């Protein structure tokens, strides 16, 4: 079945470091791909998305490119801040199929000042 | 605009008691999802509705759990009787299709 695999955390970085959180997916077809972020004590919120191959989603300095050939959607940021400390979830969705988003297990990110 | 509204934000109860969690989705969103989040199991989909009709309840852990959506603006998740292993944060989310909008969650502690 369809699934999402993302790197296990926690990931600990110093402020201004470069961030990569890996995400790969298994799916029959071409889903839409998402990154959600969950700040402490809050619900998940959409960070960025891409709906077709080679699309790049970006928001708040974060980027991810939909790579069909490697079935990946890695999240990157050039210079992280303490305020980026959160849990990040990769997810996929087939629009107009079952409308059920499939989430990865989440990656906890700690940024040290 | 108001987002997804959940209540209560925190609930502490004793084992065996009935717990009811409530959710008001964003107006116009046809889909409503209930998730449970714990450290051990992560984020789990319990059930989701489309136009107030339950579509997939395969994630509901057992008969102690039930969910209803009597109208487009209200849903409940009920646990009866509650057990300590039900302690978790329960999230409601809604969508018109595509991006999910989450509530802030209801943190349940069963003693």
pLDDT value, residue A82: 97
| B35: three-class secondary structure by DSSP | strand
Q: pLDDT for A48-104, tens place per residue? A: 999 999 999 999 999 999 999 999 999 999 999 999 999 999 999 987 666 778 999
B98 touches chain A (CB under 8 A): yes
> Does residue A3 carry a pLDDT above 70?
yes
Interface of A with B in 46-75 (CB under 8 A): 46, 49
The reply to whether omega before A10 is within 30° of 0 (cis) is yes
Q: Hey, are the CB atoms on B100 and A44 less than 8 Å from each other?
A: yes
d(CA A101, CA A94): 8
How far, in Å, are A46, A67, B14, B46, B90 from residue A64 at the CA level? 13, 9, 45, 29, 28
pLDDT at A104: 93
Q: Among A93, A98, A103, whose Cβ lies nearest the Cβ of B43? A: A103
User: For residue A43, what is the nearest residue in chain B, using CA coordinates?
Assistant: B104
Please state, as a whole number, how many other Cβ atoms lie within 10 Å of the Cβ of residue B36: 22
Q: What are phi and psi of B84, to 5 degrees?
A: -55, -35
A33: tokens are 């791909």
B7-35: pLDDT as tens digits: 999 999 999 999 999 999 999 999 999 99
What tokens does A14 get? 């110093």
Closest by Cα among B53, B60, B14 to B30: B53
Tokens at A61, concatenated:
């300095």
Residues of chain B in contact with residue A106, where contact means CB-CB under 8 angstroms, are 42-43
Give contacts of A 29-48 with B, CB under 8 A. Answer: 32, 34, 36, 41-46
């Amino acid at each position: 079945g369809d699934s999402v695999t993302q790197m296990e955390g926690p990931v600990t970085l110093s402020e201004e470091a470069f961030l990569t959180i890996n995400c790969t997916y298994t799916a029959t077809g071409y889903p839409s791909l998402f990154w959600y972020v969950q700040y402490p004590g809050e619900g998940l919120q959409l960070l960025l998305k891409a709906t077709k191959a080679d699309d790049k989603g970006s928001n708040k300095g974060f980027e991810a490119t939909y790579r069909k050939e490697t079935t990946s959607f890695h999240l990157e940021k050039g210079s992280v801040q303490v305020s980026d400390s959160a849990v990040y979830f990769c997810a996929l969705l087939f629009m107009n199929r079952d409308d059920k988003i499939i989430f990865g297990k989440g990656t906890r990110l700690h940024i040290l000042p | 605009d108001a987002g997804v509204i959940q209540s209560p934000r925190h609930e502490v109860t004793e084992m065996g008691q009935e717990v009811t969690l409530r959710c008001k989705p964003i107006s116009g969103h046809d889909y409503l999802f209930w998730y449970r989040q714990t450290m051990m199991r992560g984020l789990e989909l319990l059930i989701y509705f489309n136009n107030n009709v339950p579509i997939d309840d395969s994630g509901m852990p057992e008969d102690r759990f039930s969910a209803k959506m009597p109208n487009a603006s209200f849903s409940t998740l009920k646990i009866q009787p509650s057990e300590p292993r039900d302690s978790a944060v329960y999230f409601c989310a809604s969508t018109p299709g595509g991006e999910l909008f989450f509530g802030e969650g209801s943190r349940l502690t069963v003693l």
